[in-house]
Protein backbone atom coordinates (compact mmCIF):
# COMPACT_ATOMS: atom_id res chain seq x y z
CA UNK A 1 0.00 0.00 0.00
CA UNK A 2 1.73 3.15 -1.17
CA UNK A 3 -0.20 6.06 0.22
CA UNK A 4 -0.60 9.55 -1.03
CA UNK A 5 0.66 11.24 2.10
CA UNK A 6 2.10 14.73 2.53
CA UNK A 7 3.76 13.85 5.82
CA UNK A 8 4.44 10.98 8.15
CA UNK A 9 4.66 12.50 11.62
CA UNK A 10 6.52 10.65 14.34
CA UNK A 11 6.13 10.97 18.07
CA UNK A 12 9.56 10.81 19.75
CA UNK A 13 9.48 9.55 23.37
CA UNK A 14 9.02 5.77 23.40
CA UNK A 15 8.46 5.80 19.63
CA UNK A 16 11.95 6.79 18.44
CA UNK A 17 13.89 6.64 21.69
CA UNK A 18 13.44 5.13 25.14
CA UNK A 19 11.90 7.49 27.67
CA UNK A 20 9.37 5.99 30.06
CA UNK A 21 11.84 3.31 31.22
CA UNK A 22 14.04 6.02 32.73
CA UNK A 23 11.09 7.51 34.61
CA UNK A 24 10.35 4.06 36.05
CA UNK A 25 14.01 3.74 37.14
CA UNK A 26 14.00 7.18 38.79
CA UNK A 27 10.71 6.39 40.55
CA UNK A 28 12.25 3.24 41.99
CA UNK A 29 15.24 5.21 43.28
CA UNK A 30 12.89 7.79 44.82
CA UNK A 31 10.91 5.05 46.57
CA UNK A 32 14.14 3.59 47.96
CA UNK A 33 15.22 7.03 49.19
CA UNK A 34 11.88 7.69 50.89
CA UNK A 35 11.20 4.17 52.20
CA UNK A 36 12.05 5.20 55.74
CA UNK A 37 9.11 7.61 55.61
CA UNK A 38 6.55 5.69 53.60
CA UNK A 39 6.03 2.39 51.72
CA UNK A 40 6.53 2.27 47.96
CA UNK A 41 2.86 2.17 46.98
CA UNK A 42 2.13 5.27 49.08
CA UNK A 43 5.11 7.17 47.61
CA UNK A 44 3.95 6.21 44.12
CA UNK A 45 0.38 7.26 44.86
CA UNK A 46 1.45 10.68 46.15
CA UNK A 47 3.92 11.16 43.30
CA UNK A 48 1.28 10.48 40.65
CA UNK A 49 -1.15 12.89 42.33
CA UNK A 50 1.52 15.61 42.48
CA UNK A 51 2.44 15.04 38.82
CA UNK A 52 -1.15 15.37 37.66
CA UNK A 53 -1.79 18.43 39.84
CA UNK A 54 1.42 20.03 38.57
CA UNK A 55 0.99 19.29 34.85
CA UNK A 56 -0.98 22.48 34.34
CA UNK A 57 1.72 24.67 35.88
CA UNK A 58 4.94 22.83 34.99
CA UNK A 59 3.93 20.97 31.83
CA UNK A 60 5.43 17.64 30.78
CA UNK A 61 9.05 16.69 31.26
CA UNK A 62 11.75 15.90 33.77
CA UNK A 63 12.04 19.33 35.42
CA UNK A 64 8.39 19.31 36.43
CA UNK A 65 8.78 15.66 37.46
CA UNK A 66 11.69 16.63 39.73
CA UNK A 67 9.59 19.27 41.47
CA UNK A 68 6.82 16.70 41.90
CA UNK A 69 9.34 14.29 43.45
CA UNK A 70 10.40 17.03 45.90
CA UNK A 71 6.79 17.75 46.86
CA UNK A 72 6.26 14.01 47.32
CA UNK A 73 9.27 13.85 49.65
CA UNK A 74 7.91 16.74 51.69
CA UNK A 75 4.48 15.17 51.96
CA UNK A 76 5.35 11.56 52.75
CA UNK A 77 7.96 12.64 55.32
CA UNK A 78 5.55 15.09 56.89
CA UNK A 79 8.17 17.77 56.10
CA UNK A 80 10.82 15.82 58.01
CA UNK A 81 12.87 15.14 54.86
CA UNK A 82 16.52 16.18 55.30
CA UNK A 83 18.45 18.68 53.18
CA UNK A 84 20.67 15.77 52.09
CA UNK A 85 17.66 13.82 50.87
CA UNK A 86 16.34 16.86 49.01
CA UNK A 87 19.72 17.15 47.33
CA UNK A 88 19.50 13.46 46.36
CA UNK A 89 16.13 14.03 44.70
CA UNK A 90 17.49 17.00 42.74
CA UNK A 91 20.38 14.78 41.63
CA UNK A 92 17.94 12.05 40.52
CA UNK A 93 16.31 14.62 38.24
CA UNK A 94 19.65 15.84 36.88
CA UNK A 95 20.77 12.27 36.28
CA UNK A 96 17.70 11.69 34.15
CA UNK A 97 18.19 14.99 32.31
CA UNK A 98 21.69 13.92 31.26
CA UNK A 99 20.87 10.30 30.50
CA UNK A 100 22.31 9.11 27.16
CA UNK A 101 19.78 8.76 24.35
CA UNK A 102 18.93 5.17 23.47
CA UNK A 103 17.19 4.68 20.15
CA UNK A 104 14.54 2.01 19.86
CA UNK A 105 15.61 -0.93 17.71
CA UNK A 106 15.20 -0.34 13.97
CA UNK A 107 14.46 3.39 14.18
CA UNK A 108 17.40 4.73 12.21
CA UNK A 109 17.12 2.31 9.28
CA UNK A 110 13.37 2.76 9.10
CA UNK A 111 13.56 6.56 9.04
CA UNK A 112 16.34 6.47 6.47
CA UNK A 113 14.31 4.30 4.15
CA UNK A 114 11.02 6.13 4.62
CA UNK A 115 12.69 9.51 4.13
CA UNK A 116 13.54 8.48 0.56
CA UNK A 117 9.84 8.25 -0.28
CA UNK A 118 8.02 10.54 2.15
CA UNK A 119 8.35 13.84 3.98
CA UNK A 120 8.91 13.01 7.63
CA UNK A 121 8.14 15.24 10.61
CA UNK A 122 8.55 14.83 14.33
CA UNK A 123 6.00 16.01 16.90
CA UNK A 124 6.75 15.61 20.56
CA UNK A 125 5.56 17.11 23.78
CA UNK A 126 7.69 17.79 26.81
CA UNK A 127 10.40 20.09 27.98
CA UNK A 128 11.83 22.14 25.10
CA UNK A 129 15.51 21.98 26.13
CA UNK A 130 15.40 18.30 26.98
CA UNK A 131 13.70 17.35 23.72
CA UNK A 132 16.18 19.46 21.74
CA UNK A 133 19.04 17.75 23.58
CA UNK A 134 17.67 14.28 22.83
CA UNK A 135 17.02 15.09 19.20
CA UNK A 136 20.58 16.35 18.76
CA UNK A 137 22.09 13.29 20.47
CA UNK A 138 19.79 10.94 18.57
CA UNK A 139 21.42 11.71 15.22
CA UNK A 140 17.95 11.64 13.63
CA UNK A 141 17.45 15.38 12.88
CA UNK A 142 18.40 15.11 9.21
CA UNK A 143 15.57 12.71 8.45
CA UNK A 144 12.92 15.29 9.38
CA UNK A 145 11.70 18.24 7.31
CA UNK A 146 9.86 19.62 10.31
CA UNK A 147 10.28 19.35 14.10
CA UNK A 148 7.51 20.38 16.47
CA UNK A 149 8.00 20.44 20.25
CA UNK A 150 4.58 21.13 21.72
CA UNK A 151 3.63 21.81 25.34
CA UNK A 152 0.74 19.35 24.96
CA UNK A 153 -0.74 17.25 22.17
CA UNK A 154 -4.17 18.83 22.11
CA UNK A 155 -6.54 18.87 19.13
CA UNK A 156 -5.79 22.59 18.73
CA UNK A 157 -2.03 22.01 18.75
CA UNK A 158 -2.36 19.33 16.05
CA UNK A 159 -4.60 21.58 13.94
CA UNK A 160 -1.99 24.32 14.16
CA UNK A 161 0.77 21.88 13.22
CA UNK A 162 -1.11 20.74 10.09
CA UNK A 163 -1.76 24.36 9.15
CA UNK A 164 1.95 25.15 9.53
CA UNK A 165 2.75 22.11 7.38
CA UNK A 166 0.22 23.37 4.83
CA UNK A 167 -1.57 20.03 4.74
CA UNK A 168 -4.85 18.41 5.73
CA UNK A 169 -5.61 15.49 8.08
CA UNK A 170 -6.42 13.12 5.18
CA UNK A 171 -2.85 13.52 3.91
CA UNK A 172 -0.95 12.77 7.09
CA UNK A 173 -0.08 9.69 9.07
CA UNK A 174 0.91 9.91 12.75
CA UNK A 175 3.11 7.22 14.26
CA UNK A 176 3.31 6.94 18.04
CA UNK A 177 3.17 4.87 21.20
CA UNK A 178 0.46 6.81 23.03
CA UNK A 179 -3.11 6.01 22.05
CA UNK A 180 -4.29 9.07 23.97
CA UNK A 181 -1.81 11.68 22.69
CA UNK A 182 -0.66 10.41 19.29
CA UNK A 183 -3.44 8.29 17.87
CA UNK A 184 -6.92 9.34 19.00
CA UNK A 185 -6.60 13.09 18.18
CA UNK A 186 -5.36 12.27 14.67
CA UNK A 187 -8.09 9.69 13.95
CA UNK A 188 -10.65 12.20 15.19
CA UNK A 189 -9.38 14.77 12.67
CA UNK A 190 -9.53 12.23 9.84
CA UNK A 191 -5.86 11.32 9.55
CA UNK A 192 -4.12 7.96 9.41
CA UNK A 193 -2.43 6.57 12.50
CA UNK A 194 0.03 3.84 13.33
CA UNK A 195 0.09 2.73 16.94
CA UNK A 196 3.26 1.05 18.17
CA UNK A 197 2.75 0.35 21.89
CA UNK A 198 5.82 0.60 24.13
CA UNK A 199 6.09 -2.04 26.87
CA UNK A 200 5.39 0.50 29.61
CA UNK A 201 2.98 3.44 29.60
CA UNK A 202 2.56 6.24 32.13
CA UNK A 203 -0.89 5.86 33.78
CA UNK A 204 -1.80 9.36 32.59
CA UNK A 205 -1.40 8.27 28.95
CA UNK A 206 -3.47 5.11 29.25
CA UNK A 207 -6.87 4.65 27.63
CA UNK A 208 -9.15 1.89 28.81
CA UNK A 209 -10.86 0.73 25.63
CA UNK A 210 -9.37 -1.09 22.68
CA UNK A 211 -9.63 1.13 19.64
CA UNK A 212 -10.60 -0.09 16.21
CA UNK A 213 -10.65 2.28 13.28
CA UNK A 214 -10.31 1.83 9.50
CA UNK A 215 -7.45 4.34 9.41
CA UNK A 216 -5.57 2.79 12.33
CA UNK A 217 -2.78 0.24 11.99
CA UNK A 218 -1.26 -1.40 15.06
CA UNK A 219 2.32 -2.67 14.81
CA UNK A 220 4.67 -4.38 17.21
CA UNK A 221 7.82 -2.70 15.94
CA UNK A 222 8.69 0.41 13.95
CA UNK A 223 10.51 -1.92 11.53
CA UNK A 224 7.12 -3.16 10.27
CA UNK A 225 6.15 0.29 8.94
CA UNK A 226 8.10 -0.37 5.75
CA UNK A 227 5.77 -3.25 4.96
CA UNK A 228 2.76 -0.97 5.37
CA UNK A 229 4.11 2.01 3.43
CA UNK A 230 6.70 0.90 0.90
Q: Which of 7, 8, 10, 13 binds Mg ion (CB under 5 A)?
A: 13
CB of 86 to Mg ion, least distance (A): 30
Total number of residues that touch Mg ion (CB under 5 A): 5
Which residue, 38 or 178, is less far from Mg ion as judged by CB?
A: 178
Residue 214 beta carbon to Mg ion: minimum distance, rounded to whole angstroms: 23
Nearest residue (beta carbon) to Mg ion: 13
Residue 202 class from Cβ within 10 Å (0-12 exposed, 13-18 middle, 19+ buried)?
middle
- Is residue 130 involved in binding Mg ion (CB under 5 A)? no
Binding piece for Mg ion, criterion CB under 5 A, among 60-68, 92-100, 108-116, 176-184: 176-184
Strands of the sheet with 216-218, listed across from one edge: 146-150, 120-125, 7-10, 172-176, 192-195, 216-218
- DSSP type of residue 76: H
Residue 148 binds Mg ion (CB under 5 A): no
Exposed, middle or buried by CB within 10 Å (0-12, 13-18, 19+), for 156?
exposed
Q: How many CB atoms lie within 10 A of CB 123?
A: 26
- Taking CB under 5 A as the binding criterion, the range among 28-36, 50-58, 69-77, 173-181 that sits at the site for Mg ion is 173-181
Region 58-97 residues binding Mg ion, contact defined as CB under 5 A: none
Residue 29 contacts by C-beta under 8 Å, 6 or more apart in sequence?
A: 92
Shortest distance, CB of residue 176 to Mg ion, whole angstroms?
5
Neighbours of 58 (CB within 10 A): 16
Q: Is 14 in the site for Mg ion (CB under 5 A)?
A: yes
Question: Which spans of this chain sit near Mg ion (rule: CB under 5 A)?
Answer: 11, 13-14, 177-178
Amino acid sequence: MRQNLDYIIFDADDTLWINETFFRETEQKLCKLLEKYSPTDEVMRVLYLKEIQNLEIYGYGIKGFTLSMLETGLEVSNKQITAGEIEQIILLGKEQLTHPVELIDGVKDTLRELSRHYHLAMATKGDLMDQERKLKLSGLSDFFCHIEIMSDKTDAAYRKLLKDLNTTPEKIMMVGNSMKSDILPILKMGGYAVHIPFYTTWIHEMVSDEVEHPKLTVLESIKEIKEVLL
